[in-house]
Amino acid sequence: MSGNDFESLEKILEAHVPEEELRTVKKLLFGKELKKLSLPQGAIEAAAEQDFDLKGYVFEASPEQLRPPRTVRVGLIQNKIVLPTDAPVLEQITALHKRVGEMVEVAAMCGVNIVCFQEAWTMPFAFCTREREPWTEFAESAEDGLTTRFCIQLAKKYNLVVVSPILERDEIHGGTLWNTAVVVSNNGHVLGKSRKNHIPRVGDFNESTYYMEGNTGHSVFQTQFGKIAVNICYGRHHPLNWLMYSIHGAEIIFNPSATVGLLSEPMWSIEARNAAIANHCFTCAINRVGTEYFKNEFTSGDGKKAHRDLGHFYGSSYVAAPDGSRSPGLSRTRDGLLVTELDLNLNRQVADKWNFKMTGRYEMYAEELKKAVQHDFKPNVVKE
């Protein structure tokens, strides 16, 4: 079995670990056991017909005397590119709109209120190539570009919030490119956008060739279904990035990503889950799937031979809760839709138990960080 072709960790465990021990293993890996969400038969049949993984789980909170449950259904979509990377740009975009649009229809059948797509979902993740053309042609306006107009139609048709991460072209500021998530309300209005705060310079991830660190801060969007934020891809490696979205009141933080197995897979199941625990909120990690091949070879600056692919995008999208529980992941090899029902009351219930926000020494951290970023900073090291 190669590292690219096994379906998921969960399926390996189910195939090789006895049932009684499996329950213990899953409890340690995923926290408390989640109920499976009852999904409509029509949705199950549509997923089978369209060949994508469909899973559903429920995150429950304890009943309260004064607050009714605050349940919201979230859908995460992971997918391969549809056409070869050298197909005409508009054909690639249109094909991805069609594929993802079909999956959103199934999400709507499942009662999803908020759907989030993977990072730069309308294009191949071509930033490894360092080529300008044709990849910059995929960039579009966050406010009224082709993809945003498509998402507005989806939001209105299915009464759901759409989180759409794209390559943005900012015409107002000289056509600058940004890695941006557009948030469209269920009424079809563009609530705003959140740009990627941290840009990787790791291996083949040469993204600063195209765009730099974002300038929208840590925006939180008040939707009909709760307060959400978008921590794009590499930002998941930065605990303070998650923290600031939480400080601004995010109840659900989405992490649309594009990352490959050799680089990050051992870290994947940990980071968003840890962020959910540390920040008393739900986190949703979405990763694209498949291997994308490019016409021209490129190098990684590490002395290894030139190659035509970035590596295997391993999917495995999941949702984590503030109590440390998490859903099993979607497939490592197939397109997928993960539907989860979240009771947002769990955020405060866990906060009341663990008190991380109350016991956090933010004023002390702020004061020391203020000093640490100065050029004449002297570390507080006590010597003999």
The b/e string for 9-41 (b: 16+ C-beta within 10 A; e otherwise) is ebeeeeeeeeeeeeeeebeeebbeebeebebee
Identify whether 233 is a catalytic site residue. Answer: yes
Note every long-range contact of 33-39, with CB atoms under 8 Å and residues 24 or more positions apart, other chains counting.
34/58, 34/59, 34/325, 34/327, 35/60, 37/110, 37/339, 37/340, 37/341, 39/110, 39/339
Catalytic residue from among 26, 55, 80, 119: 119
CB contact at 8 A, 44 and 54: yes
| CA–CA distances in Å: residue 253 to residues 114, 118, 204 | 12, 14, 26
The tokens for 237 are 């490696």
Among candidate residues 239, 215, 219, the one with its CA nearest the CA of residue 228? 219
Identify whether 305 is a catalytic site residue. Answer: no
Catalytic residue from among 168, 196, 271, 281: 196
Catalytic residue from among 233, 281, 284, 341: 233
The tokens for 268 are 């994947």
d(CA 148, CA 137): 16
Identify whether 110 is a catalytic site residue. Answer: no
Annotated catalytic sites, by residue?
119, 196, 233
